[in-house]
Structure 1
């Protein structure tokens, strides 16, 4: 039998090429898998109490994918988060308001804004009040929070004194409520019941006859201890925020000082992904692109 040396040479070369391509393909896939598994580091964040439940949920889901990433979360209010990210003491500052509203212009300019969601803010009252007063006009709401109305009977409610449960000036939730619910009229602070802990605020309203305050919508999911108050007949809901009829809402910001590093970027990208968007809405937050009227 005669062998065609030329043909054998061609076949041998083809075999080498095929093996080489297979090796490259496996190497590339392994590299991608290794990169996903190799994501390591620590993310620290603080700030908005309204954004904290979302940040906790995002951290838990993100760590399922990247178990070697440590995420440390704290509240403290939007002003605190912005100051700390500006100072470099945390990687991410969570805020309900734009940085320039809480920081000097030059400090705000150093930060990069990542709008991760939309939050709706609702006025909430003690259930005894809410049973009689389920809706207030915006002017009535302004009069209550500025101290002009001091008894609920003045707005059709029971003969009970109004008790304000207020937030500190560093609160981004307060800033949103002041701008869009109170038309920039400043609320009368009640220092004895002042807190930026939304859970504690709801508890105070629930336990105090005549009490009223305001919280981010996610804190009201599966919570029947207080009554949400409609404004001009429009209920505080995600649907009404999306369709533009409920006006008391704002963007949720996660600020970094300069561009985020690889670990921070992966976390932020995950929060803004379609995958996490379903969880985000389930927690009572909104997807920014779904709001018909922007701010």
Structure 2
């Protein structure tokens, strides 16, 4: 299992174990556990993680009567900044806290709940299904302005970007474009809005999380490699990110219980794949905060 996942589990277990030490502490722990379902949890941030967090919260609340959980978007930057100040319980993010300027990552605890792939998408009428990486960079930096220049129809290219602070944007620029010096274009604050705009706007191109992909937009392959779960697990499709739930310090029992629910075998094997995310345990590689790729969970060859 990924070393970071083990670390997260250890922190959570250590927190609960500490609460259980001593006779009076045992009583306090019991009261805290009993009150856990009624403790308010507010998770803010990544719109890529938002659909999974919302669905998991609904399922969790239905089986834990009285649970009070609110899930909101706003982008990874907002999630990290708000959890760092203690304004919210959980900061949802597509990027490591170390990647976000102005965030003291040492005060935050990382809980990884899934992996999400990110794909460039185009309006289906553009007439393109595959681009070279050079062509993709050329489009987003303004070198190419018509789909005909990259093998498509004679139609103007309409760029749609995500706002600054978006984890999806950071991941796409770092791993697909390898540059943040992109052409000025309209910006949208959520994966869902981007999907709708690309679907309805002739000539449009942007990028969204796999969890938002639908047949009425064209997911673009890069250098002949398709944006699929299988390709993400081996890093053949390198445009992917962990879905992080950050807490300020060790989480309280109610928060531990909810996060462990998302990390449970049941959710990892059912809800996460169903909604277009990838369980961390299916990954054959791991990525560190500084972008290094490490091999993990490699199958045994005979």
Is TM > 0.5 for Structure 1 vs Structure 2? yes
Post-superposition shift, 1:36? 7.1
Rounded Cα–Cα distance in structure 2 between residues aligned with 1:271 and 1:146: 38
Against the structure 1 CA distance between its residues 260 and 38, is the aligned structure 2 distance closer, same or farther, given a 3 Å change threshold? closer
242-251 or 136-145, which deviates more? 242-251
Distance (whole Å) between structure 1 residues aligned to residue 142 and residue 39 of structure 2: 49
Which secondary structure state, in structure 2, belongs to the residue aligned with residue 104 of structure 1? coil
> Which residue in the other structure is 1:292 paired with?
284
Q: Work out the CA distance in 2 between the residues paired with 1:143 and 1:197.
A: 24
Give the CA deviation at 1:224. Answer: 2.2
User: Which stretches of structure 1, 4 residues or more, deviate above 2 A after TM superposition?
Assistant: 35-40, 184-187
Of residues 236-245 and 72-81 in structure 1, the stretch that sits farther from structure 2 once superposed is 236-245
SS at match of 1:165: strand
CA contact (8 A) 1:37 1:66 kept: no
Q: Gapped runs of 5+ residues in structure 2?
A: 1-29, 288-302
Structure 1 residue aligned with 2:240, among 214, 236, 249?
249
Aligned to 2:9: none
| Bigger Cα displacement from structure 2, 114-123 vs 194-203 | 194-203
Contact kept in structure 1, 2:36 and 2:253, CA below 8 Å: no
**Contact 1:121/1:177 (8 A) holds in 2:** yes
The equivalent residue for 2:106 is 109
**SS at 2:238 equivalent:** coil
Query: Does 1:126 pair with 2:123?
Result: yes
The SS at the match of 2:225 is coil
- 1:140 aligned residue (120, 131, 135): 135
Distance 1:62 1:36, change over 3 A: farther
Aligned-residue offset at 1:39: 3.2
Question: By how many angstroms is 1:111 displaced?
Answer: 0.5
Q: 1:160 & 1:108 partners in 2: Cα distance?
A: 45
1:225: how far off? 2.1
Offset at residue 170 of structure 1 (A): 0.8
Indicate yes or no: 2:230 matched with 1:224: no
| 1:262 pairs with 2:260 | no
Contact in 2 for aligned 1:168/1:174 (Cα 8 Å)? yes
Match for residue 186 of structure 1?
181
- In structure 1, stretches of 5+ residues that fail to align are 1-31
Worse-superposed segment, 161-170 or 234-243: 234-243
Q: Distance in 2 between matches of 1:103 and 1:262?
A: 29
Q: Which residue in 2 is equivalent to 1:238?
A: 229
User: Cα distance, 1:47 vs. partner?
Assistant: 0.3
1:231-256 deviation per Cα after TM superposition (whole angstroms, max 9, x unaligned)? 11111111211133211101111000
**What corresponds to 2:22 in structure 1?**
none
Q: TM-score, normalised by structure 1?
A: 0.83
Bigger mean CA offset, 61-70 vs 88-97? 61-70
Deviation at 1:91, TM superposition (A): 0.4
Among 183, 195, 202, the alignment partner of 2:195 is: 202
Is the 2:50–2:73 Cα contact (8 Å) retained in structure 1?
yes
Could you say what secondary structure the match of 2:169 adopts? helix
Distance in 2 (CA, whole Å) between partners of 1:231 and 1:38 is 46
From 42, 59, 62, the equivalent of 1:61 is 59
**Cα distance in 2 for residues equivalent to 1:241 and 1:224:** 19
Report Cα offsets for 1:107-150 as digits up to 9, x if no partner: 22111011111000010000101xx2101111111111111111
Does structure 1 retain, via aligned residues, the 8 Å contact 2:36–2:254?
Answer: no
**Computing the radius of gyration over CA atoms, which structure comes out larger, 1 or 2?**
1
Q: Is the 8 A contact 2:37 2:68 kept in 1?
A: no
